Structure 1
Amino acid sequence: MKDDFYAAVNKEWLDNSQIPAGEAYNSTLLQLDYENENRISDILNTLLQKDWPRGSKEQKLVDFYQSALDMDSRNEQGIEPVRKYLQAYEEADSLEQLIQTDININRETGNGQLLTYYLGQDLQDSSSYIMYHWALTPTWDKDFYTSPDKRDACMKYITRLLTLSGEDEATARSVAEQIFALEKELSENSLDPEEYYDVDKAYYVYTLEQLASLYPDFDLKKTITDTGYQLPDRVCIVDEGLLLKSAQYFNEDHLELLKDYATFKFIYACGFTLSREFIEARQEFNALVYGVEGEKSDQQRAVNAVKEYLPLYLGEIYVEKYFSEEAKQDVEEMVANFIEVYKQKISNLEWMSTETKQRALKKLDNINVKIGYPDKWSATLDNTDIKSYADGGSYFDNVCRINLAYINENIAKQGQPVDKSTWDMPVYEVNAYYDVQNNEIIFPAGILQEPFYSFTASPAENYGGIGMVIAHEITHAFDNTGARFDEMGNVNNWWTEDDNRNFEEKTKRVQEFYDGLEIVAGIESDGELTLFENIADLGAISCCLKVLSQYENPDYQAFFKSYAVIWRTTMKREMADYLSKVDVHSNSKIRVNRTVVNFAEFYEAFGINETDGMYVPPE
């Protein structure tokens, strides 16, 4: 305990942890995902026992599941479901025709690859939608374009997808080289992972004329209306460097490269719906870059497909069968307690001015809380026809129809106010999140189970589990990203100059405290990448300890042990290396050990002193 708290608490589990086939890691969260997967499998198997009226949610769940599971039909069809789209890309003989082809494919399948338009909340006015636009994008994270091993794996995968699509090996290899070179250049001009959370670097608003001037070789306005949207006055660009580089390729000189790029990206996006050869190609790639061994069963893949594509219908049944209203009420009470504690803590901050405190308290008062499931289930897919192979459908067709339903729903939002009652996370997800633009925290039903939460657990154990998650998400309202948004979810500098300077000094100390720590030999933590998640963890423990201190004889040992348990993880080295470059959360061991040492209650509970490995001298 005194030298490596995380390892000591989780020793038995870590010693016996086995990474499941088809995965690159094992964890508390993954085990709960698997338990939910079994529950969902039971739901689907029960539904399979009856005939359901066409158009009902049960019929759609059953037929979608069976279409994903029917590998015989998928193998028999092979590339056939997408052949006409690949041929259409190949036959385009001008830039204008290629762009129109891509728009037509997008209107049929929901999988356009060249020019994307989407309505999302405006960072400066969260009650309104603004059109977002992006064009060519790298398929993988930056490290994939600089690591020789990952480059080789990407080249092999691109080549394999192209040969499965009908190219001969030599041509596929040559085309893969060109696609990878293009994506490498795009990657070099794109934001780093942590920069996407910086509103100063990831929010550029263009007029429509300014945007159109980037594409002089075709009519940009026509592409917007042909996609189904009305012409907007303003368009938001998240990654300006990437877009500017991307726009340079939209000319006749790069026609063949754009055709090859669109073909690859289309197959990359749709291949999972086709024959086993495409699945095996992805598995081989995952083995090379993430260290994945073995593979998931066809049933697992089919269940996961239902989870991903029909979360609304599945979630409604899941909640009816597995969620407890008592749990919802219990968590609502915990949230209310935490918010009151945060109000006290903010009010007592010595370094923050009265003016900024008032704005912070106002933001707390306006936090919306969603627990368990939405008050109203979305009707997005009510008019979407899902068919089994026996009824003339296919897995590919079903996925496309679902994609199109969401695209059409997005198009219909133009000119409408934002509906902030919607959920963006399936109710069975083992997760939670804070939404800066809605100033709300969401706790799906899926996370309200052991070891995060239990009726039979002690208060200390529940606070170390679900309590930490709740307080963590509340803290996100005031981390280095959340602090840029006001109580309405709008980007707004509500800090005084002195308070902002003090805050930045404190966040810099957090960044340094979590930076350069060994994850495994040769792989270190990135304090800048993980900054806002580390702030949330520190704030959460501080808040939980305050609440726990109000109990008679608080069990701090149980609290800290519970916190260590929820983050226990084992993973392949390749995955650890990958996550160290892209994951905004600290590695589990660091997330536990480096966080708990900041609190006197931890030292007192376990008798930590200067000679122990967990000891960190106070600053």
Structure 2
Amino acid sequence: MDLMATISQAAVKQDLYDAVNGDWQATAEIPADHASTGGFMDLVDGIEKTLMHDFDAMVAGKTTPNDPQLAEFIKFYQLTKDFEKRDQDGAKPLRPYLKQIDSLTDLADLQQRMPDWIYDGLPLPFSLDVDADMKNTKVNALFAQAPNTILPDKTYYDEGNQQGPKLLAVYGQMMLQLLQLAGESAAQAQQIVDDTLKFDRLIVPWVKSAEEAADYSKMYNPRPFKEFVNNSRYLDLAAITYSVINGNPELVILPEPAYFDHFNDVVNPDNFTMMKNWMKAKLVQRLSGYLSDEMRTVGTTYSRTLSGQAQPRSQAKSAYYLAAGAFDQVVGLYYGHKYFGETAKADVHHMVEKMIAVYKRRLQANTWLSADTRAKAIVKLDNLGIQVGYPDKLEAVYTKYKTLPAADGGNVLSNVLCFGRIARQDMFAKWGQATDRTRWEMSADTVNAYYHPFMNIIVFPAAILQAPFYSLDQSSSANYGGIGAVIAHEISHAFDNNGALFDEFGNLHNWWTDDDSAHFKELAKAMIAEFDGLDFAGAKVNGTLTVSENIADAGGLSCAEEAAKGEADVDLAAFFTNWAMVWRMKATKQYMQLLLSIDVHAPAKLRANVQPKNLDDFYATFDIQPTDPMYLAPDKRVKIW
């Protein structure tokens, strides 16, 4: 593939992203059921089409599922596809749960029922879950979480934020319609909406903004269990915990400590009726997608307004995503085995090892770290776990998923709640047990990759390991500009402002000297400054919110470039061109502005354009001069890893 055939050096000097993607950007159309289109989304759409074709053939009996778990998925997929039955049932499957909320008399009554509600994942003013203890990641600890706010970030509630009131109005109208479809009168629906908005406001002051939540070090707020249970004057938090945890926790970790410090201000007898109505609204919204087609489409009104998506998904697509979401790892394993395979898995695993070796050489040659910190960084790199393609085996919990067909009284909602209960019981059973470093948190059919700081592992699902990221038809330089940079990006997360807080075992533990830590923070500030305030989509980039991903992009691109230069067929123009190509994205203005508020990644176009400016070879490759728009003075170029 001749990536340079369609771009000119003069165009790159003006804007790398536009030079590579301009023609595509001018003609690309955002599908009506999308908020964006482009590199990542094209792969998502392709996988969606492939898997829907395969699974529809199984539903039709043209092919047969090749394992028991896939057979259970296909049974469930048949239910999600049967919109005639879903429309006949309407809100009937939901009503018993609404009646449960209606019948609540007081907080003591809620407490008696709470274990069942926790297992069913139904709306409550707090939630419990189990994950690795951030200071001892070999063991699973108990976490207590605050509920989500209606608006996507607390900054939307700020006085002067013009989007907040508009979005709450859309939410209110959607909920009025949904609640009436669920069987509430118009007057009842209005009261429920009014109370929901009031209760939501009680939560807002005590939860973090996206920027605050992006700092991992502030997630770890362990509280002695005896202290935690005293956070509520009106609920017996100890009894509630013991009902789902088999044992006596010594501590609970609170990512949102302020919420629990003010728990009595939110959850108290005076607010009980208001909270009941908030629970009803949350329940109806959360479960609307599992009911009739009308409730499904109405229930997406608010999210579509947020993102600028013109239309809801078709029935066919929504049925597929609903079923695949419940059986995500089952679907992922099917995709990985059929469309990726062991040979590709081994090949990419080797490529990851090669990138780690490059990174190791760079760490060994690092000039700003002290010898002690450098040695510990290399130990962390040597202990980095690698997961490529798909898991070696399916998690045992999926063997417990048994779809109850319509003929036996099953429906979409009853099955979803049953699967969720099984999954949550499995999660709570892991409290106090050893963590599983081999566990995948993304299915193999997901177009993404991640670094898990608590486990010190990098994960590359099969779905992202295809063109334009990776292909045997592309030059090695193009592949390094695509998947090579993605691999090195994830490695870099081990050493970004968040990842650097964790040691080789994933424990939150400072392994830096004071001087090295101070120097690193100054470099991070330079990265914040490089992006902070950049204009995009009528708003501005938050450099603090996006700093960890920008550090990872910078390290990833720099490391991948070094690897590309080590190949006999090096072509840096192809390297930078493919880097820009993988970030092509056309999105609605609403979606771009939403991402600027809540996403820890910088906008795709800026990721494509800003990072190459930090690399000296970019200037030589395209003869970029100080008078060119893509030029950045040497003293402004940020180099960390």
Q: What is the TM-score of this pair, normalised by structure 2?
A: 0.93
**Are 2:178 and 2:284, in contact at CA under 8 Å, matched by a contact in 1?**
yes
What letter matches 2:144 in structure 1? H
2:100 maps to 1:88 = yes
Residue 24 (structure 1) aligned to one of 31, 35, 39: 35
Shift of the alpha carbon at 1:524? 1.1
Q: Which residue of 2 aligns with 1:576?
A: 592
Q: Which residue of 2 aligns with 1:341?
A: 358
Shift of the alpha carbon at 1:195? 2.4
**Are 1:120 and 1:131, in contact at CA under 8 Å, matched by a contact in 2?**
yes
- 1 CA distance for matches of 2:34 and 2:262? 35
- 2 CA distance for matches of 1:547 and 1:135? 44
Q: CA 1:461–1:38 in structure 2 vs 1: closer, same or farther (change >3 Å)?
A: same
Alignment of 1:49-128 (within 5 A): 49-50=60-61, 56-107=68-119, 109-128=120-139
What letter matches 1:571 in structure 2? A
Shift of the alpha carbon at 1:229? 4.1
Give per-residue Cα distances to partners, 1:125-146, cap 9 Å, x unaligned: 1101110112543233224434
- 2 CA distance for matches of 1:94 and 1:55? 47
Residue 634 of structure 2 aligns to a residue in which SS?
coil
Alignment of 1:92-241 (within 5 A): 92-107=104-119, 109-141=120-152, 142-146=154-158, 147-227=164-244, 229-241=246-258
- 2 CA distance for matches of 1:550 and 1:158? 58
What letter matches 1:560 in structure 2? F
Residue 382 of structure 1 aligns to a residue in which SS?
helix
- 1 CA distance for matches of 2:307 and 2:277? 26
Residue 587 (structure 1) aligned to one of 603, 607, 615: 603
Residue 12 (structure 1) aligned to one of 23, 36, 44: 23
Q: What is the TM-score of this pair, normalised by structure 1?
A: 0.96
- 1 CA distance for matches of 2:618 and 2:264? 54
- 2 CA distance for matches of 1:49 and 1:268? 32
Q: Which residue of 1 aligns with 2:468?
A: 451
Residue 307 of structure 1 aligns to a residue in which SS?
helix
**Are 2:202 and 2:266, in contact at CA under 8 Å, matched by a contact in 1?**
no
**How many pairs align?**
617
Q: CA 1:545–1:342 in structure 2 vs 1: closer, same or farther (change >3 Å)?
A: same
Shift of the alpha carbon at 1:55? 9.3
Q: Which residue of 2 aligns with 1:433?
A: 450
Residue 495 of structure 1 aligns to a residue in which SS?
coil
- 2 CA distance for matches of 1:177 and 1:282? 18
What letter matches 2:139 in structure 1? S
Moved more, 398-407 or 276-285: 276-285
Alignment of 1:371-386 (within 5 A): 371-386=388-403
2:50 maps to 1:36 = no
Q: CA 1:535–1:223 in structure 2 vs 1: closer, same or farther (change >3 Å)?
A: same
**Are 1:98 and 1:259, in contact at CA under 8 Å, matched by a contact in 2?**
no
Shift of the alpha carbon at 1:295? 2.6
Q: CA 1:268–1:229 in structure 2 vs 1: closer, same or farther (change >3 Å)?
A: farther
Residue 618 (structure 2) aligned to one of 589, 593, 602: 602
**Are 2:444 and 2:463, in contact at CA under 8 Å, matched by a contact in 1?**
yes
**Are 1:85 and 1:105, in contact at CA under 8 Å, matched by a contact in 2?**
no
Residue 252 (structure 1) aligned to one of 260, 269, 273: 269
RMSD over aligned Cα atoms: 1.9
- 1 CA distance for matches of 2:427 and 2:567? 48
**Are 1:186 and 1:245, in contact at CA under 8 Å, matched by a contact in 2?**
no
Q: Which residue of 2 aligns with 1:283?
A: 300
Shift of the alpha carbon at 1:365? 0.4
What letter matches 1:412 in structure 2? A
Q: Which residue of 1 aligns with 2:516?
A: 499
Residue 211 of structure 1 aligns to a residue in which SS?
helix
Gaps of 5+ in 2: 1-11, 159-163, 636-641
- 1 CA distance for matches of 2:408 and 2:608? 52
Give per-residue Cα distances to partners, 1:400-458, cap 9 Å, x unaligned: 11111211111221232111111110011111000101111001111111111111210
- 2 CA distance for matches of 1:44 and 1:594? 42
> Could you tell me the percent identity over the aligned residues?
31
Give per-residue Cα distances to partners, 1:587-606, cap 9 Å, x unaligned: 01111111111111111111
Q: Which residue of 2 aligns with 1:307?
A: 324
- 1 CA distance for matches of 2:490 and 2:589? 29
- 1 CA distance for matches of 2:583 and 2:504? 31
Q: CA 1:114–1:229 in structure 2 vs 1: closer, same or farther (change >3 Å)?
A: farther
**Are 1:371 and 1:444, in contact at CA under 8 Å, matched by a contact in 2?**
yes
Q: CA 1:200–1:287 in structure 2 vs 1: closer, same or farther (change >3 Å)?
A: closer
What letter matches 1:282 in structure 2? G
Shift of the alpha carbon at 1:53? 9.5
Alignment of 1:512-551 (within 5 A): 512-520=529-537, 522-551=538-567
Give per-residue Cα distances to partners, 1:172-206, cap 9 Å, x unaligned: 22332231232133123211213223244221111
**Are 1:47 and 1:58, in contact at CA under 8 Å, matched by a contact in 2?**
no
- 2 CA distance for matches of 1:4 and 1:227? 56
What letter matches 1:327 in structure 2? A
Gaps of 5+ in 1: none
What letter matches 2:107 in structure 1? L
- 2 CA distance for matches of 1:498 and 1:33? 44
Alignment of 1:287-436 (within 5 A): 287-436=304-453
What letter matches 1:110 in structure 2? G
**Are 1:60 and 1:387, in contact at CA under 8 Å, matched by a contact in 2?**
no
Give per-residue Cα distances to partners, 1:317-360, cap 9 Å, x unaligned: 22221113332222222212221221221122222100000100
Residue 129 of structure 1 aligns to a residue in which SS?
strand
**Are 2:203 and 2:266, in contact at CA under 8 Å, matched by a contact in 1?**
no
- 2 CA distance for matches of 1:395 and 1:344? 53
